Structure 1
Amino acid sequence: MIKNWLAAGALALTAGMTASTAAHAQATTIPGEQVGLAAGAPLPEGVYAVDTFIYRRPDAPFGADTAINVPFVIWASPYKILGARIEPLIAAPTVFAFTRNPAGTANRDISINVGPLLASVFAWDLGNGFGVSYLAGAHLNDALADRGSLVGAGGGTPVLPQLSSNTYRQGFAASYTGDGYNLTANLTHNFYDSPGRFSGPVGRAIGPLVIADALLLDLTATKKFGKFEIGAVGYGVTDLSLSGRDALRAASQGYTKTGRFALGGLIGYDFGPFTAQLVVARDVASRATYVTAGGRVRENDSTDGFFRIVAPLYAAAAAAPPPAPLVRKY
């Protein structure tokens, strides 16, 4: 059994895929990808495999649904630095888009491999069920991501501009995991080598792309009842403001600031060899919009579904209790 949910897992992409440059999400970490995880709590020593699958459907009748699969492995090592358990991890996310064009308009499903994430969590046990952690890592998009673009009359359209640069990430989390609770707040910062560039002839046609930094907040409040876990989650993302020449260049590329916040519920079950979680959430605020057939501008809220499996691959043996003292009566 896993006493604490895995800390600060792998990254995935925000569902910002469109066929135009009108408003691309700039975060590489997907909003809500870490809800349900006790990101601030040190893991028991061992090796854990996790897979999180996320499906997002926006309200706009035409456009694209998106899905992200995030497999990762994390090693809760026996080593510590400044009192923090060192927990290196590696992840290899994949993004999918499923277009929903009207009859007579071609539909095309696509998939994109994100650069693998190499990172480490440093987690402190503060006692009495409290813990804090810091995560540092990077997606190696420059070398190992699918960095193509949709080819069109203008030379090309970037599907995910944030893949034109490595994604650097830091995260700060705090958790309370006493008495079967998981109360966690997790703040994540994505930043880039901006402006980024795609390679090849399409990349040269597109030119340099300004990428805004992003800030994400994941919130979890759950309680375990035997093998069941039930509770609420909330998560959001916002681009950080651009200024000066970057702001002017981004505006010329059709970029507009993006952001959303969603609320939902979580249910989990401990099957013994593995633990599963389901999350369903709905936007309560969003900067994304779409135009209806009647010409009205409406908020393009989304509904998300998450499915996660957590499986320990190896667990360190529990320390043997000290031998009882030998008492002799003379």
Structure 2
Amino acid sequence: MMLKKFAAAAGAFAAITLSATASFAQSTTIPGEQVGLAVGAPLPEGIYAIDTFIYRRNDTRFSTDTAINVPVLVWSTGFKLFGANVEPLLAQPTVFGFPNNPAGVPNRDFSVNVGTLVGSIFAWDLGNNFGVSYLAAVHLNDLDGGRGLTQFSSNTYRQGFAASYTGDGWNLTANLTHNFYDSPGRFEGPVGRAVGPLYLADALLLDLTATKKFGKFEVGAVAYGVTDLPLGGRDFARATAQGYTRAGRFAVGGLVGYDFGPFTAQLMVARDVAVRTRGTESTDGFIRLIAPLYSAPKAAEPMPVSLVRKY
């Protein structure tokens, strides 16, 4: 009896959290997480700290507002592999929920730990200010992910394909991210056994950036979207029985940034223009800080060589 109560509580918490993030689709990567970044361009050698905070306000009455904080460390090694600059990264995202319940129903804020992300970017400089990159990474949900979200019942395997143009102060970037899982996923322990296997849909995310720098200022437009990929017939039926419905959204907005010297700040606001489930539109606000923690010393310029002319 007690086990059933624990299972019911876990299921209720998962339902609350999923309703809070339904428009994110069944993805671990947050839509818009990488807009404003020239992800396709190789970074100069050094270590970089990037923190992105996203607050999402849902139009649905009595819905739950959500916030996501994504701190990332990237090391641009300068080491080349097949011509690509190797850039290992480490991130520890966290999801926060802020319920807006009707009168008489208590509001209880909560947080869910997303599995630590480990991986690497491989970035190629194609010349003429063009660059492309490939990301291979995994969210270690089985190791340290929270239990509030269905997708955390499996590690999230993540790959990304990006292209950037960064000439003349422009940042024109398109970035496609693929999340895929071990489906069905399972949580460990007695509660996990009571909940049983969870059927997970893979997801695709697209981030688009078009900004221009004017001195220390940066302005421009961003757009991003996410969609679940179709589940197989039997898995879809099982997932539907667990309350799963296909989800997706596409948002557009604007970006303003400023280079303070030691760090750069970006502010973004975006609004859904298309959703799979009508009435679930939302507005997102972003704050991002980018700080180089270490930069490799530049190589000394060679001494000029005297020109000897023979007559």
Q: Same fold per TM (> 0.5)?
A: yes
Partner of 1:251: 240
Q: Which residue does 2:164 correspond to in 1?
A: 175
SS at match of 2:175: strand
CA contact (8 A) 2:65 2:97 kept: yes
> Which of 209, 216, 220 is residue 227 of structure 1 equivalent to?
216
Match in the other structure for 1:3: none
Instruction: Look up the SS of the partner of 2:16 in the other structure.
Output: coil
> Where do 1:35-46 residues align within 5 Å?
35-46=35-46
Instruction: State the distance in 1 between where 2:166 and 2:294 align.
Output: 22
8 Å CA contact 2:18–2:149 kept in 1: the answer is no
Q: Deviations 1:169-215 (Å, cap 9, x if unpaired)?
A: 00000000000000000000000001001122221121100000000
Query: Deviation string for 1:207-230 (max 9, x for gaps)?
Result: 100000000000000000000000
Listed as ranges, the gaps of 5+ residues in structure 2 are: 1-13
What is the identity, as a one-letter code, of the residue corresponding to 2:95?
Answer: V
Aligned-partner Cα distance in 2 for 1:213–1:124: 27
- Measure the CA separation in 2 of the matches of 1:212 and 1:315: 40
Residue 7 of structure 1 is matched in structure 2 by none
Shift of 1:300: 1.2
Preserved CA contact (<8 Å) 2:17 2:97:
no
Q: Which one has the bigger helix percentage? A: 2
Alignment-mate amino acid for residue 239 of structure 2: A
Please give the per-residue CA displacement for 1:218-271, whole angstroms capped at 9, x wherever unaligned.
000000000000000000000000112211111111211000000000000000
Q: In structure 2, do the counterparts of structure 1 residues 47 and 243 end up closer, same or farther at CA, with 3 Å as the change threshold?
A: same
Per the TM alignment, residue 329 of structure 1 is displaced from its structure 2 partner at its CA by 8.2
Flag as ranges the 4+ runs of structure 1 deviating above 4 A: 20-24, 327-330
Question: Residues 139-195 of structure 1, C-alpha deviation per residue, up to 9 Å, x if partnerless?
Answer: 000011122xxxxxxxxxxx3100000000000000000000000000000000010
In 2, Cα distance between the equivalents of 1:234 and 1:327? 55
Q: Give the letter for the 2:16 counterpart.
A: A
| Conservation of the 8 A alpha-carbon contact between 1:21 and 1:253 | no
Partner of 1:316: 296
Q: Does 1:305 align with 2:257?
A: no
Post-superposition shift, 1:320? 1.3
For the aligned residue pairs, the C-alpha RMSD in angstroms reads: 1.6
The equivalent residue for 2:106 is 106
- Which residue pairs with 1:31 in the alignment? 31
Q: Give the structure 1 partner of residue 275 of structure 2.
A: 286
Q: Which residue of 1 aligns with 2:5?
A: none
Measure, in 1, the Cα distance between the counterparts of 2:109 and 2:145: 18
The amino acid that maps onto 2:306 is L
Q: Counterpart of 1:171 in structure 2: which amino acid? A: G
Distance in 2 of aligned mates of 1:272 and 1:214: 37
Aligned partners of 2:190, 2:150: CA distance in 1, in Å? 16
Amino acid at match of 1:112: V
Match of 2:257 in 1: 268
Q: How far, CA to CA, are the matches of 1:284 and 1:239 in structure 2?
A: 17
Distance 2:234 2:17 in 1: 22
CA contact (8 A) 2:122 2:134 kept: yes
For residue 103 of structure 1, give the secondary structure of its aligned residue in structure 2. coil
Maintained 8 Å contact 2:158/2:179: yes
Percent identity between matched residues is: 69
Amino acid at match of 2:219: I
Q: What SS class does the counterpart of residue 189 from structure 1 fall into?
A: strand
Counterpart of 1:117 in structure 2 is: 117
C-alpha contact 1:18 1:63 (8 A) present in aligned 2: no
- Listed as ranges, the matches of 1:77-116 within 5 Å are 77-116=77-116
Unaligned runs of 5+ in 1: 1-16, 148-158, 290-298
Out of 19, 44, 51, the position equivalent to 2:16 is 19
Secondary structure of the residue aligned to 2:29 is coil
Secondary structure at the counterpart of residue 19 of structure 1:
helix
